[in-house]
Amino acid sequence: MKMLRHVAALILFALPAHAAVDIKQVTSPGGITAWLVEEHEIPFTALEIRFQGGTSLDAHGKRGAVNLMTATLEEGTGEMDAQGFANARDSLAASYRFEAGTDSVAVSARFLSENRDQAVDLLRQALVAPSFEQSAVDRVKGQVQSILQSDAQDPNAIAARIFDTETFGDHPYATSGNGTADSVAALTRDDLVAAHKAAITRERIYVSAVGDISEAELGKLLDDLLGDLPETGAALPDAAPWNIKGGVTVHDFPTPQSVVYFGHQGIKRDDPDFFPAYVLSEILGGGRFTARLMDELRGKRGLTYGAYAYLAPMDHAELLVGRFATANATVGQAIDVVREQWSKLATEGVTQAELDATKTYLTGSYPLRFDSNAAIANILVGMQMEGLPIDYALTRNEKVEAVTLDDVRRVAARVLRPDDLHFVVVGQPEGLEQ
Amino acid sequence: MPTRLPALLALSLTAAPALAQDVTDFTLENGMEVVVIEDHRAPVVTNMVWYRTGSADEPPGESGIAHFLEHLMFQGTNTMEPGEFSSTVDAQGGSDNAFTSYDYTAYFQRVAADRLDLMLSMEADRMRNLTLSEDIVANERNVVLEERSQRVDSDPSSIFSEQQRAAQFLNSPYGIPIIGWRAEMEQMDRDDALRFYRTYYAPNNAVLVVAGDVTPDAVLEMAKKHFGKLEPSDLPVRLRPQEPPQLSERRMEYADPRVAQPYVMRSYLAPERNPGDQQKAAALTVLAEYLGGSPTTSVLARALQFGPDAPAVYTSAYYDGTAVDQTTFNLAVVPRPGLSLDDAEAAMDAALDQFLKGGIDPEAFARIMTQVRAGEIYARDDSDGLARRYGAALAVGLTVEDERDWPQVLQSVTPEQVMEAAREVFDKRRAVTGHLLQEEAAE
Q: Give the pLDDT score at B22.
A: 87
CA distance B411 to chain A (A): 14
Q: Which of residues 356-375 of B touch A (CB under 8 A)?
A: 363-364, 367-368, 370-371, 373-375
**CATH fold for the domain made of A247-376+387-427:** Cytochrome Bc1 Complex; Chain A, domain 1 (3.30.830)
**Considering chain B, what is the average pLDDT of its residues?**
93
d(CA A411, CA B82): 31
Q: Give the pLDDT score at A15.
A: 40
d(CA B95, CA B112): 10
Tens-place pLDDT, residues A57-86: 999 999 999 999 999 999 999 999 999 999
CB under 8 A, 24+ apart: contacts of A27-30: A27/A219, A28/A4, A28/A218, A28/A219, A28/A220, A28/A222, A28/A223, A28/A227, A29/A1, A29/A2, A29/A3, A29/A4, A29/A219, A29/A220, A29/A223, A30/A222, A30/A223, A30/A227
Output the CA torsion A209→A211→A217→A221 (10° steps). Answer: -40
pTM of the model: 0.92
Domain boundaries, chain A: 4-226, 247-376+387-427
Question: CA A80 → CA A86, A88, B62, distances in Å?
Answer: 9, 9, 56
Closest CA to A262 of A162, A151, A195: A162
Of B74, B142, B381, the CB nearest to A302: B142
CB B150 within 8 A of CB B144: no
Tens-place pLDDT, residues A412-424: 999 999 999 999 9
Contact call for A257 and B382, based on CB within 8 A = no
pLDDT over 80 (residue B13):
no
CA distance A329 to chain B (A): 12
The yes or no reply on domain A4-226 and CATH 3.30.830.10 is yes
Contact call for A374 and B297, based on CB within 8 A = no
d(CA A153, CA B148): 19
Contacts A–B by Cβ distance under 8 A: 198
Tens-place pLDDT, residues B342-361: 999 999 999 999 999 999 99
**Considering chain A, what is the average pLDDT of its residues?**
94
pLDDT over 60 (residue A2):
no
Q: For residue B390, which phi and psi values (nearest 5 degrees)?
A: -65, -40
Q: Which of residues 53-92 of B touch A (CB under 8 A)?
A: 74, 83, 86-87, 90-92
Q: Is A126 on the interface with B (CB under 8 A)?
A: no
What is the arithmetic mean of pLDDT over A156-176? 97
pLDDT over 50 (residue A231):
yes
Q: Give the pLDDT score at A20.
A: 56
Tens-place pLDDT, residues B189-200: 999 999 999 999
Q: Residue A84 has what DSSP assignment?
A: H
d(CA B363, CA B361): 6
- Would you call B70 a catalytic residue per the annotation? yes
Q: Residue A102 has what DSSP assignment?
A: S
Contact call for A304 and B377, based on CB within 8 A = no
Give which of B73, B136, B150 to mutate to test A binding, by max A Cβ within 10 Å.
Answer: B150
Pairing of strands A422-427, A247-252: parallel
What is the arithmetic mean of pLDDT over B196-216? 97
B306 to chain A: closest CA residue: A139
Triad A253, A254, A260: Cα angle to 5°: 45
Q: Where are the beta strands (DSSP E) in B155-228?
A: 206-212
CB B429 within 8 A of CB B46: no
pLDDT over 90 (residue A337):
yes
Q: Give the pLDDT score at B14.
A: 31
Output the CA torsion B81→B86→B87→B89 (10° steps). Answer: 130
Q: Which of residues 93-152 of B touch A (CB under 8 A)?
A: 93-95, 110-114, 138-144, 146-147, 149-151
ipTM reported for the complex, 2 dp? 0.90
Q: Residue A81 has what DSSP assignment?
A: E
d(CA A377, CA A57): 25
Give which of A45, A210, A305 to mutate to test B binding, by max B Cβ within 10 Å.
Answer: A305
Closest CA to A47 of A178, A222, A168: A222
Contact call for A289 and B87, based on CB within 8 A = yes
Catalytic residue among B33, B58, B70, B345: B70
Contact call for A360 and B258, based on CB within 8 A = no
Which residues on adjacent β-strands are paired with residue A36?
A24, A209
Q: Give first-to-last CA distance, chain B, whole Å.
A: 65
Q: Which residues of B touch A371 (CB under 8 A)?
A: 41-42, 44, 212, 383-384
d(CA A18, CA A367): 13
Q: Which residues of A touch B211 (CB under 8 A)?
A: none
Equal fold, A4-226 vs A247-376+387-427: yes
Contact call for A367 and B94, based on CB within 8 A = no
Q: Which of residues 327-346 of B touch A (CB under 8 A)?
A: 334, 336-337
Give which of A145, A146, A290 to mutate to test B binding, by max B Cβ within 10 Å.
Answer: A146
Would you call B212 helix, strand, or coil by DSSP?
A: strand
Q: Which residues of B touch A255 (CB under 8 A)?
A: 153-154, 258
Burial letters A258-285, b for 16+ CB under 10 A, else e: bbbbbbbebbebebebbbbbbbbbbbbb
CA distance B64 to chain A (A): 15
Pairing of strands B250-256, B431-438: parallel
Contact call for B297 and A83, based on CB within 8 A = yes
Q: Which residues of B touch A114 (CB under 8 A)?
A: 8-9, 11
Question: Residue B440 — very low, low, confident or very high, per pLDDT cuts 50/70/90?
Answer: confident
A113 to chain B: closest CA residue: B8
Question: CA A416 → CA A281, A289, A306, A347, distances in Å?
Answer: 10, 21, 21, 9
Q: For residue A195, which phi and psi values (nearest 5 degrees)?
A: -65, -35
Which residues on adjacent β-strands are paired with residue A49?
A107, A207
Contact call for A146 and B9, based on CB within 8 A = no
What is the arithmetic mean of pLDDT over B416-437? 98
